Amino acid sequence: MSKEVKSDLYKAAGVDIDLATELLSRAKKDLASTRRPEMLSPIGGFGGLFSAKFANYQDPVLVSSIDGVGTKLMIAMMMEKYDTVGCDIVNHCINDISVQGAEPIYFLDYIGIGKLRSPLYEQVLSGIAKACREANCAVLGGETAEMPGMYGNDFDLVGVITGVVERSRIIDGTKIAPGHVAIGIASNGPHTNGFSLARKILFGDGKLTVHTYLDELGETVGEALLHPHVCYYPAIREAMQQQIALDGIAHITGGGLYDNVPRILPENVDVIFRSDAMPVLPIFKLMCEMGKVEKSEAYRVFNMGIGMVWFVPENTKEKAMEIIRQAGYKCDVIGEVVPGTRKVEVL
């Protein structure tokens, strides 16, 4: 049996090992609720073990992605509310692999922080567990690094996800052709991108605070900015189960429509979007007016109310939109595919 060992000098230097152990123990039950049958070890080992036997797949392909929450974390710190950013990192990562048709299977997190503290730590992990549980994605492990000389009072949050897709069902955009329609699925705010400009406009130019209530928002500025990134995987999963021709999907993150859509387009097509096809959310209207943001830049920095775009043949658009709406999302046809050279235009 190990005897109790104190780390007073390390604690005096800014790293509290005992606190880290205590806070993690509080969160372990929540994290354990995300367990899948393929998990072979509990959280806490040097490496997470996950069985590679995928019973429902004939030719499984693993799909992985890594991302961070970015400076949205600064809004969370201003609001002293941290559960939504845990959801953010999971849902962003799930969307990034689900656009290729992948089922999320396990997730790992990294928290780098200047000073470990409660309830920040438990709230972040609770948000991660909640989002993973809703997507049937296991939290396989993670890392918390307390680095007082690196982060000061700030922290960073990064996620790594792995999913699996049948090779024959990979969605890669190669089938997108002139005549396809673009279906936009609504976001609920900036998601996890554009926050450096948002902070400059709202807190710099506009002299607002996160606690400023605005009638046009129907909530405070901080609440409008902290809406958690929407996870669109349930709609994709249902569309694939119903054999809908999902020929291409773009997750609208940093770069907006202009940069994300061309990533999946064949060389011989363009996409023309209509900016009036779906309503622009009040938070984006506010920032564009207050910051005098040109339309072209707005649609490159922000998602402007469109979190994901599906490309489907024209004759399947009604069925695709029915599936999206039944899954609980707002959507509409927002554009069309035409002959071109892999460019995007927003009218």
Contact 306, 186 (CB under 8 A): yes
Report pLDDT digits (tens) over 321-342: 999 999 999 999 999 999 999 9
The per-residue pLDDT for 279 is 87
Distance of CA 317 to the CA centre of its chain: 25
Q: Are strands 138-146 and 103-113 parallel, antiparallel or unpaired?
A: parallel
CATH 3.30.1330.10 region(s) of the chain?
8-169
Domain with CATH 3.90.650.10 in the chain: 181-346
pLDDT by residue (tens digit) across 57-115? 999 999 999 999 999 999 999 999 999 999 999 999 999 999 999 999 999 999 999 98
The CATH T-level fold of domain 181-346 is: Phosphoribosyl-aminoimidazole Synthetase; Chain A, domain 2 (3.90.650)
Cα–Cα distance measured from residue 233 to residue 235, given in angstroms and rounded to the nearest whole number: 5
Task: Give the C-alpha separation, 13 to 27, whole Å.
Answer: 25
Identify the CA nearest to 65 among candidates 129, 108, 19.
108
Q: Are 262 and 255 in contact (CB under 8 A)?
A: no
Contact between 334 and 273 under an 8 Å Cβ cutoff? The reply is yes
DSSP label of 315: G
Rounded to an integer, the average pLDDT of 193-205 is: 95
**Global confidence as pTM:** 0.92
Q: Residue 332 phi/psi, 5° resolution?
A: -170, 165
Indicate the pairing of strand 60-68 with strand 155-166.
antiparallel
Identify residue 335 by its one-letter amino acid code.
Answer: G
pLDDT mean over 267-290: 95
- pLDDT tens digit sequence for 24-51: 666 667 777 788 888 887 766 788 888 8
In whole angstroms, what is the distance from residue 109 CA to residue 224 CA?
25
Tokens at 24, concatenated: 């993690």
The whole-angstrom separation of Cα 218 and Cα 113 is 33
Mean per-residue pLDDT, 267-272 = 96
* Residue 257 CA to its chain's centroid (Å): 16
> Measured in whole angstroms, how far is the alpha carbon of residue 1 from the centre of its chain?
43
By C-alpha distance, which of 209, 228, 198 is closest to 81? Answer: 228
Fold of the domain built from segment(s) 8-169: 60s Ribosomal Protein L30; Chain: A; (3.30.1330)
